[in-house]
Chain A
Amino acid sequence: MSHEHSETQLDAYLDGELASVEAAELEAHLVRCPACARLREERLALRAAIRAAVPAQPAPDALRERVRLALRAHGTAGRGGGPRAARAWSWLAIAASLTLVALGSWGLALRGAAAGGLADEVFRSHVRSLMPGHLTDVRSSDQHTVKPWFDGALDYSPPVYDFAGRGYPLLGGRLDYIAERPVAALVYGRRQHLISLLVWPVTRAPAAPPTPRFRQGYHLLHWATPIYSYWVVSDLGLVELQDFSRLVQQADSAAAAGMSR
């Protein structure tokens, strides 16, 4: 038995994963070979050292609560949004995730989810942000603070407007991960309500007017300009949310006009 071979076998032996015949063979080898016997001692010491150096840390109670809340919110939301369609590809998705070592497996699976899945992602982003400490990464009502912060964190520069004068003050921004890419999420307030505005650049999409969706007490609006894809989500009433969306669109048009001048 070569030493390199026995090293792997020794590990399997110490892990209790060696078949009995091989285990007996290895034990006989250990008696004859001081080098391998020393290696066994080292491995036993290493195992103790690993467990001491990296003690398992129980999950914080807050996380347990967070997961529970998110599951319940998600469970109710899923029922409203075409579970049958989701189920059709979920088996493929999970099969891919379990068998492909390729890191992109989730991407392949999720691309099939199309806009319905995107709406779910946007909805989840908003719900997640409502949990303590997740609303904003940069808290500022100053668009000249928020915009540069994104410039450092994203490969695009999202448009940032403040509508405080119209009753929708900018509260800050955060990074999120939607449609397989990091995206900018801007947070606006309206009385006691919060609005998440998610925006990312599109490569080739026809401009589309706002389309409303509804998820578990939250309204979602999606529209696209030739440059950006927009999602807005809030527990605000649809009328006010549409009003807010119009403000964003007007600001966008004004900015575009300003640039071409």
Chain B
Amino acid sequence: MRSGETGGFEAAMLPHLNAAYTLARYLTRNDHDAEDVVQDAYLRAFTYRDSFRGDGAEAGRAWLLAIVRNTAYSWRRREGKSALVTEFDETRHSDAVAEEHPEAALLRDAARQSLSRALDQLPPEFREVIVLRELEGLSYREIGEVVGVPAGTVMSRLSRARERLQRALRAEDREG
């Protein structure tokens, strides 16, 4: 990676594109913005490629995801500053989440919707650990690297996040 060649960087980092996109989608909650965030994050990662001191594909993934996360938070601040920007983008909360999926048949639609709503409503520091753990399959240590907190904090955040999601599911059970 120190060669400065775009090719080497691409070969090392493009395999993580799905992981980057998934994280960006759940942080921005908008497919369109997620694409912009991912592209920007890759450019930043390329600019700072010499600072990557880790070793191996998993370290590279955590490093890239940390940059995706930072980029997404910059994007969130920008969104906060000019709230109207989002009004021009009605792709927000697209139906992508509700697309048919084999496992989804096991769940009643209502439960699934309430869960994905509950996930959307989680504070971002909870949502990101859930996404990194359940969708990306990262270890606590790797999540800690991405988020910038100790593994112990990852553990307690995950637990609190799951407790909230569990409550949403239980509430759905009672109503249904």
Residues of A within 8 A of B (CB): 7-8, 11-12, 15, 17, 42-43, 45-60, 63-64, 66-68, 70-72, 74-75, 78, 83, 86-87, 90-91, 93-95, 97-101, 103, 105-106, 124, 128, 137, 152-155, 175, 177, 181-182
Known: A11-B155, A52-B107, A52-B112. 20 other contacts (CB 8 A): A7-B159, A7-B163, A8-B156, A49-B111, A51-B134, A53-B97, A53-B112, A53-B116, A55-B101, A66-B35, A66-B39, A67-B14, A71-B6, A71-B9, A75-B6, A93-B48, A103-B74, A154-B82, A181-B81, A182-B78
Q: Which of B25, B70, B103 contacts A106 (CB 8 A)?
A: B70
Q: How far is the CB of A140 from chain B (nearest CB, A)?
A: 14
Residue of A nearest to B113 (CB): A53
Query: Is B50 touching A74 in the complex (CB atoms < 8 A)?
Result: no
Q: Which of B10, B22, B130, B169 contacts A71 (CB 8 A)?
A: B10
Give bound CA distance, A216 to B150, whole Å.
Answer: 42
Query: Is A86 touching B21 in the complex (CB atoms < 8 A)?
Result: no
Q: How far is the CB of B65 from chain A (nearest CB, A)?
A: 11
B119 within 8 A of A: yes
Q: Which of B21, B103, B158 contacts A51 (CB 8 A)?
A: B103
Give bound CA distance, A83 to B3, whole Å.
Answer: 13
Decide yes or no: A90 and B50 within 8 Å by CB, A49-B107, A53-B112, A153-B82 being known contacts.
yes
Residue of B nearest to A92 (CB): B51
Query: Is A182 touching B82 in the complex (CB atoms < 8 A)?
Result: yes
Q: Which of A42, A43, A56 lies at the interface centre, i.e. has the most chain B CB atoms within 10 A of its CB?
A: A56
Which residues on the B side are within 8 Å of A93 (C-beta)? Answer: 48, 51
A-B contact pairs, 25 of them (CB 8 A): A11-B155, A15-B133, A51-B103, A51-B134, A52-B112, A53-B113, A54-B116, A54-B119, A55-B97, A55-B101, A56-B135, A66-B39, A70-B42, A70-B43, A75-B5, A75-B46, A93-B48, A98-B66, A103-B73, A103-B74, A103-B77, A124-B43, A128-B39, A153-B82, A182-B81
Query: Is B82 touching A155 in the complex (CB atoms < 8 A)?
Result: yes
Query: Is B115 touching A50 in the complex (CB atoms < 8 A)?
Result: yes
Q: How far is the CB of A200 from chain B (nearest CB, A)?
A: 13
Give bound CA distance, A93 to B134, whole Å.
Answer: 29
Which residues on the B side are within 8 Å of A67 (C-beta)? Answer: 14, 17, 38-39, 42
Q: How far is the CB of A56 from chain B (nearest CB, A)?
A: 5
Which residues on the A side are within 8 Å of B131 (C-beta)? Answer: 54
Proximity bits, B140-162, A CB within 8 Å = 1, else 0 = 10000101110100011011001
Proximity bits, B31-52, A CB within 8 Å = 1, else 0 = 0000110110011001110111
State which size class the interface on B falls in.
35 or more
Decide yes or no: A68 and B14 within 8 Å by CB, A42-B166, A53-B112, A63-B38 being known contacts.
yes
Q: How far is the CB of A62 from chain B (nearest CB, A)?
A: 8
Give bound CA distance, A212 to B82, whole Å.
Answer: 31
B99 within 8 A of A: yes
B121 within 8 A of A: no
Query: Is A90 touching B162 in the complex (CB atoms < 8 A)?
Result: no
Give bound CA distance, A43 to B158, whole Å.
Answer: 12
Query: Is A11 touching B158 in the complex (CB atoms < 8 A)?
Result: yes
Residue of A nearest to B130 (CB): A50
Give bound CA distance, A45 to B169, whole Å.
Answer: 10
Q: How far is the CB of B92 from chain A (nearest CB, A)?
A: 15
Decide yes or no: A70 and B39 within 8 Å by CB, A52-B107, A177-B78 being known contacts.
yes
Query: Is A71 touching B46 in the complex (CB atoms < 8 A)?
Result: yes
Q: Which of B17, B20, B71, B166 contacts A46 (CB 8 A)?
A: B166
Query: Is A106 touching B140 in the complex (CB atoms < 8 A)?
Result: no
Which residues on the A side are within 8 Å of B104 (C-beta)? Answer: 52-53, 55
